[in-house]
Structure 1
Amino acid sequence: MILNWKDEITKIDPDIKFRAHGGWLKTVEKLDKSVSNGYSLVGDFVHAGDFEEEYCEGLYLDCNKEGNSKKPQQDYRLFRFKDGKVRLLDMVIDGTKGWAPELWEAVEDEI
């Protein structure tokens, strides 16, 4: 499916300060519980921004950084891309060191 990631995430969260201090988007293809950090959500990084991009159906994890540039707030959102639609499954706002396990249950439900 072809979509503009900035447009899609702004529809879901109109107050988001999209990529104010960086961030990334990646696929989530499997879960590796041998680690308890972001590496437990196994997948590939993909391009995302204010442009159209081709995306495959599947699970995606977005990290958006906003706020203070020295120590920005990091928000993590788990999405499902399917049938031309983007659906928010779960999120961790202002994630700290142990943010990834908070998404494990949602990932397991979708894989």
Structure 2
Amino acid sequence: MLVKAGSEGMITENAKDTFEQAMERAVGDRVRQGEAAGVALWSALANVVWKGPAGEEASYSWRESGSVVAGIRRDRSSYLDWYMSGPAGVVAPWIKEALKTEGWTGSASDGG
């Protein structure tokens, strides 16, 4: 299902699923271990376009970013617990490196 056509590629639900699986493998354990890692992940998702190894793209609204963090944490938190919990568009080095091992690279979006 098409979500958004970007100037550099297509953002699809399938790309988001693939990216979320990569996130789970790369940073899931750390995000579940502490709130600071959850905040860092929210920051790395909001206003960032992630490009995968096959050229697919995944990006999230601020609310979606909170939902992704809550889902990875597998606790009783909701998107509201993570929404605006950190600076949008800032990718911590440990997240950048972890996702790079999965073939994903992030860049700031225009917010659109």
Task: Specify which structure has the bigger relative contact order, considering alpha-carbon pairs within 8 angstroms and separated by 6 or more residues.
Answer: 2
Of structures 1 and 2, the larger Rg is shown by 1
Length-normalised TM-score, structure 2 = 0.25
Report which of the two has the higher share of helix. 2
Length-normalised TM-score, structure 1 = 0.25
